[in-house]
Amino acid sequence: KNTLMWFRTDLRLQDNTALHAASIRAKVGNSFLVGLYIISPEEWRDHDEAPVKIDFWMRNLHCLRESLEKLAIPLVIKTAIHKDDIPGIVQSVVEDMYISHVFWNAELLVDERKRDASVKKALLARSNVQVEECDDQCIVPPADVRTKTGNPYAVFTPFYNTWCKLVDSEPHYLELSQTPERNPPEIRTTFAQYFDQNPPSSYPHTLDINNMKELYPAGESQAHRRLDSFIKNKASRYQEGRDIPQLEGTSVLSPYLAAGVISARQCVAAARTANKGKLTTGDEGLKTWIKEVGWREFYRHIVVAFPRVSKSHAFQPKTETVEWSDNEEHFQRWCQGKTGFPIVDAGMRQLNSIGYMHNRLRMITACFLVKDLLINWQQGEKYFMSQLIDGDLPSNNGGWQWSASTGTDAQPYFRVFNPLLQSQRFDAKGDFIRRWVPELKSLNDKQIHNPHGVLSPKEFAKLRYPKPIVDHASAKAKYIAEFKRVLALA
């Protein structure tokens, strides 16, 4: 009887907890190890997954299949037209391939957990199989990080302090598991047909395909090259560079982390080694970067402890009665990067062109949607998800709720980013704007942040760039008054 590893958002060989456990079990049982991946368009649609992200998954799946092939591990690819077909599909693979043990890495989100529970139920009911779900999505499993009273944390700093203490005191959290062992050669005759299966190597999307392949090359080795190069060349200047979009001072590992092509454990382990074994002291850049990965962990813990946040609810229920604007034209202008606020438009156009947006711009554009346009943060969250190559529900939801002042450590509602000041501070020379808003290319460093405010009407008209769709000061006052009203009712 053989062993099955079901891959999902963990498209890697190295440091893959369930894969490692499955490999050990196959060896002990003197059996073959087999991989499974289920293409599931209905789930993708339900979760607003960006086509460009699915394309990245498919490209990585292709690489994974090649790496598995080198270890004589076949990767069975199935398609579930409807998500409800998934339990039956897993069941049939189990029967066809004489499987006795099924492994996967546990997911964190409500729908995926429900899906996995029904697969497990079907397997345990109908065949003599054992199922093992491994903790792999977080460096420290959510159940291990608790306040003194045994509750989950709802604020980042105390969470991170406890998290660091645990990681420092219990070395197993950062232990990386080994790659699986090679299957015995006879598997190539036993399961010959499964070695011929080729997953789709792309998925249709509207962005520049070659550019996307160049910006985000697929494969574990590419992810590790990126991590190594970031740590060697950029990490020590991360503290200063991470907020200046034009400097490209961040790792851009998020697409790889979201697809599970690299693990957060591998990232933190590498950064900690470079920081001479320290998490919270030592090199400013490295420790700040580790802390950012800590935010990722935090938001993962939040969706587990407070599942309502992934079900369209605010973390702070009292903020749910805000009367949002339904101005569809404003929303469309925001989506298209045509708000007349250069820094906002630059961020949105970066997103629409390359499926990625720098963190500072994510904060500026999100704050603008919510606090200048008074549009429900959930519309923005959905739009980001539908465009991002690194779309990740916990981080996206956490980032949006932070920006909208509805979340855990949300910034106070009365703190509203001024797009002009943000632009002057974080894109002082206007280079980022020039890159993404070519209409403004000819403007000098001073004009570029606020062309409508500083140019004559005639000069402005020549640019063919939209006028600001709102007046920031009055939009801010309107938003603050509305939030105050809501809080007074709570």
- As annotated, the active-site residues are 292, 295, 324, 359, 377, 400
Which residue from 269, 265, 233, 277 is spatially nearest to 251, judged by alpha carbons? 233
Determine, following the binding rule CB under 6 A, whether residue 83 of this chain makes contact with ligand FAD. Answer: no
Report the alpha-carbon distance of residue 169 to residue 182 in Å, rounded. Answer: 34
- Judged by CB under 6 A, which of 177, 350, 395, 423 binds ligand FAD? 395
321 contacts 415 by C-beta, under 8 angstroms: no
Q: Least distance from C-beta 356 to ligand FAD, angstroms?
A: 7
Helix (H/G/I), strand (E/B), else coil: 341: coil
For the segment 412-441, give every residue that binds ligand FAD (CB under 6 A).
none
Phi, psi of 35 (to 5 degrees): -105, 155
Q: What is the DSSP letter of 429?
A: T
> Tokens standing for 310?
């992934």
Q: Tell me if 392 contacts ligand FAD by CB under 6 A.
A: yes
The answer to the question of residue 243 lying near ligand FAD (CB under 6 A) is no
Contact pick of 9, 40, 396, 423 for ligand FAD (by CB under 6 A): 396
Which residue in 89, 176, 247, 252 binds ligand FAD (CB under 6 A)?
Answer: 252
Half-sphere exposure of 3 (CA within 13 A, CB side): 24
**DSSP conformational letter for 417:** -
Spatial CA neighbour of 60 closest among 392, 390, 393: 390
Among 73, 258, 351, 475, interactor with ligand FAD by CB under 6 A: 258
Kindly state whether residue 403 participates in binding ligand FAD, applying the rule CB under 6 A.
yes
Binding to ligand FAD by residue 226, rule CB under 6 A?
no
x-marked contacts with ligand FAD along 295-324 as a string, rule CB under 6 A: xx--x-------------------------
Which one, of 195, 179, 198, lies nearest residue 63 by Cα?
198
The count of chain residues that interact with ligand FAD, using the rule CB under 6 A, is 28
Amino acid (one-letter) located at 326? D
The residues that bridge with 37 in the sheet, in sequence order, are 7, 77
CA-to-CA dists, residue 81 to 36, 78, 450, angstroms: 16, 10, 49
> Does residue 383 have a known ligand-binding role?
no
CB of 150 to ligand FAD, least distance (A): 25
Give the nearer residue to ligand FAD in terms of CB position, either 77 or 252: 252
By C-beta, is 76 or 361 nearer to ligand FAD? 361
In the annotated binding site for FAD, the residues are 238, 250-254, 289, 292-299, 390-392
In the annotated binding site, the residues are 238, 250-254, 289, 292-299, 390-392
